[in-house]
């Protein structure tokens, strides 16, 4: 097995990566994981700085580690350029969304009883669900040939809809299925 090496990126590439993550930050409603499909398109399909397997492994490693789910952005950045890459991607993803969230939270708290704010909050739920589903679709890409992937996904959705089982147990079960099939 050959070792995986980080791509050699120019300063212009780092500017493009930073700008892309600034934009993705504004789309990260419900968390940065919702922007994983666009990160995949940008890093894997458009620029070929990572393979499908590297991308999925980076996200999986970060999601398995304790801490915020935002860690996958740091792992992707690390894969692109070590500590510097991690700083570029994390600053890009955090700066706009943190600033906007702080401003919106202060504004919304002062007006939380108004119809417009209540409608906005209610409208965000379907958008968040759609972004998370698209992330699952992209992250499952390396295993599309396996019928177990779709069976596990269907069983998980059914269990979520029919019971009040903690999603953590379902994630653990999916991990076990993946470990036995690997």
The string of pLDDT tens digits covering residues 92-140 is 999 998 998 899 889 888 888 899 888 888 888 788 778 777 877 777 7
Could you tell me if 128 and 28 are in contact, meaning their C-beta atoms sit under 8 angstroms apart?
A: no
Domain map (residue ranges) of the chain? 11-144
Helix 115-139 and helix 71-110, axial crossing angle in degrees, nearest 10: 170
Residue 182 confidence (pLDDT): 64
Least confident of 11-25, 34-48, 69-83, 164-178: 164-178
Average pLDDT on 144-169 reads: 79
What's the pTM?
A: 0.63
* Euclidean distance between CA atoms 126 and 173, whole angstroms: 26
Using the predicted structure, report yes or no on whether residue 72 has a pLDDT greater than 90: yes
Question: 48 or 160: which carries more pLDDT confidence?
Answer: 48
Average pLDDT on 62-84 reads: 91
* Euclidean distance between CA atoms 168 and 156, whole angstroms: 11
Least confident of 61-65, 76-80, 147-151: 147-151
Q: What is the phi/psi pair of residue 150, to 5°?
A: -70, -35
């Amino acid at each position: 097995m050959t070792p995986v090496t980080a791509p050699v990126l120019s300063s212009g590439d780092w500017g493009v990566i930073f700008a892309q993550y600034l934009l993705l930050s504004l789309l990260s409603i419900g968390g940065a994981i919702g922007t994983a499909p666009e990160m995949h398109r940008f890093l894997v399909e458009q620029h070929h700085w990572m393979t499908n397997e590297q991308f999925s492994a980076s996200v999986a490693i970060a999601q398995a580690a304790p801490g915020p789910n935002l860690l996958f952005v740091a792992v992707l950045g690390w894969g692109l350029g070590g500590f510097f890459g991690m700083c570029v991607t994390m600053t890009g993803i955090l700066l706009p969304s943190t600033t906007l969230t702080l401003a919106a939270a202060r504004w919304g708290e002062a007006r939380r009883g108004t119809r417009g704010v209540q409608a906005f909050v209610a409208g965000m739920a379907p958008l968040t669900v759609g972004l998370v589903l698209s992330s699952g679709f992209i992250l499952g890409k390396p295993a599309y040939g396996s019928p177990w992937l779709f069976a596990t996904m269907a069983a998980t959705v059914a269990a979520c809809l029919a019971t009040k089982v903690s999603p953590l147990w379902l994630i653990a079960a999916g991990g076990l299925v993946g470990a036995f099939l690997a």
